[in-house]
Amino acid sequence: MEKNYAQLILTELEQNGEIPDTLLLAKKFEIEHQELVGYLNSLLLENYITQEVKEIQRWVLLQEGLDNATNGTPEFRVFKGIPAEGISKNDLEAKFDPNVFKFGLQNGMKKKWFKIKDGLIQKEVADVVDEDAVLLKRIESNSNLEDIKKDVFDNFKKRKIITQEVIKYFKINKGTEYKPIYVELESDLTYDMVKNYDDFVKNQDGTTKSNTELAKKFKKYNWNSVGKDIKTGNLHPLMKVRKQFREVLIEMGFEEMATNQYVESGFWNFDALFQPQQHPARDAHDTFFIREPAHSKNLDPEYWERVKKTHEVGGYGSIGYRYDWSYDEAKKNIFRTHTTAVSSKMLRQIAIEFAKDGVFKPRKFFSIDRVFRNESLDATHLAEFHQIEGVIADKNVGLGELLGVITEFFAKIGITGLKFKPTYNPYTEPSLEIHGFHPGLNKVIELGNSGVFRPEMLRPMGLPEDIQVLGWGLGLERPTMIQYKFKNIRDLLGYGVDMKLLKENPICCFKN
Ligand code: PHE
Ligand 1, closest atom to CA 371? 4
| Residue ranges matching CATH 3.30.930.10 in the chain | 239-262+339-504
Nearest CA to ligand 1 atom 8: 450
Give dist(CA 263, CA 245) in Å, integer.
24
Residue (of 480, 512, 497, 505) closest to 235 by Cα position: 505
Quick one: average pLDDT of 236-258? Answer: 93
Residue 471 CB–ligand 1 contact under 6 Å: yes
Q: Residue 508 pLDDT more than 70?
A: no
The CATH architecture assigned to 239-262+339-504 reads 2-Layer Sandwich (3.30)
| Residue ranges matching CATH 3.30.1370 in the chain | 5-62+139-174
Lowest mean pLDDT: which of 83-87, 103-107, 301-305, 412-416?
Answer: 412-416
The ipTM estimated for the assembled molecules is: 0.97
Quick one: average pLDDT of 309-314? Answer: 98
Give dist(CA 301, CA 306) in Å, integer.
9
Residue 269 CB–ligand 1 contact under 6 Å: no
Phi then psi for 106, rounded to 5 degrees?
-55, -55
Residue 451 CB–ligand 1 contact under 6 Å: yes
Report the amino acid identity of residue 452. V
Q: Residue 354 pLDDT more than 50?
A: yes
pLDDT of residue 1: 60
Residue 449 CB–ligand 1 contact under 6 Å: yes
Q: Residue 298 pLDDT more than 50?
A: yes
**SS3 string of 74-122?**
HHHHHHHCCCCCCECHHHHHCCCCHHHHHHHHHHHHHCCCEEEECCEEE
Ligand 1, closest atom to CA 337? 4
Residue 472 CB–ligand 1 contact under 6 Å: yes
Quick one: average pLDDT of 357-381? Answer: 92
Quick one: average pLDDT of 268-289? Answer: 94
CATH number of the domain at 5-62+139-174, please? 3.30.1370
Residue 386 CB–ligand 1 contact under 6 Å: no
Grade residue 511 by pLDDT with cuts at 50, 70 and 90. low
Give dist(CA 285, CA 422) in Å, integer.
26
CB 444 within 8 A of CB 461: no
Grade residue 509 by pLDDT with cuts at 50, 70 and 90. low
Lowest mean pLDDT: which of 13-17, 216-220, 355-359?
Answer: 216-220
CB 372 within 8 A of CB 260: no
Distance from residue 428's CA to the centre of ligand 1 (Å):
9
Which residues are paired to 115 by β-bridges? 122
pLDDT of residue 512: 44
Segment of 203-207, 222-226, 341-345 carrying the highest mean pLDDT: 341-345
- Whole-Å CA distances, 36 to 187, 234, 410, 466: 20, 36, 58, 82
Residue 340 CB–ligand 1 contact under 6 Å: yes
Give dist(CA 345, CA 263) in Å, integer.
13
- The dihedral of CA 421, 474, 428, 357: what is its sign? negative
Span 139-149, pLDDT tens digits: 998 878 889 99
pLDDT of residue 187: 86
Helix (H) or strand (E) holding 310: helix 301-312
Percentage of the residues of the chain whose pLDDT score is greater than 70: 98
Distance from residue 263's CA to the centre of ligand 1 (Å):
18
Span 424-472, pLDDT tens digits: 999 999 999 999 887 777 888 888 999 999 999 999 999 999 999 999 9
Question: In this structure, which CATH number among 1.20.58, 1.10.10, 3.20.20, 1.20.1440 belongs to the domain 74-129?
Answer: 1.10.10
Q: Burial, 408: exposed, middle or buried (Cβ in 10 Å; 0-12, 13-18, 19+)?
A: exposed
Higher pLDDT, 447 or 306: 306
Q: What is the mean pLDDT of the chain?
A: 92
Q: Residue 307 pLDDT more than 70?
A: yes
Q: Residue 280 pLDDT more than 60?
A: yes
Give dist(CA 136, CA 451) in Å, integer.
78
How many residues are recorded in the chain? 512
Give dist(CA 324, CA 142) in Å, integer.
91
pLDDT of residue 377: 85
Which residues are paired to 202 by β-bridges? 208
In 3-state terms the chain splits into helix, strand, coil percentages (rounded to 5) of: 40, 20, 40
pLDDT of residue 185: 87
| Residue ranges matching CATH 1.10.10 in the chain | 74-129
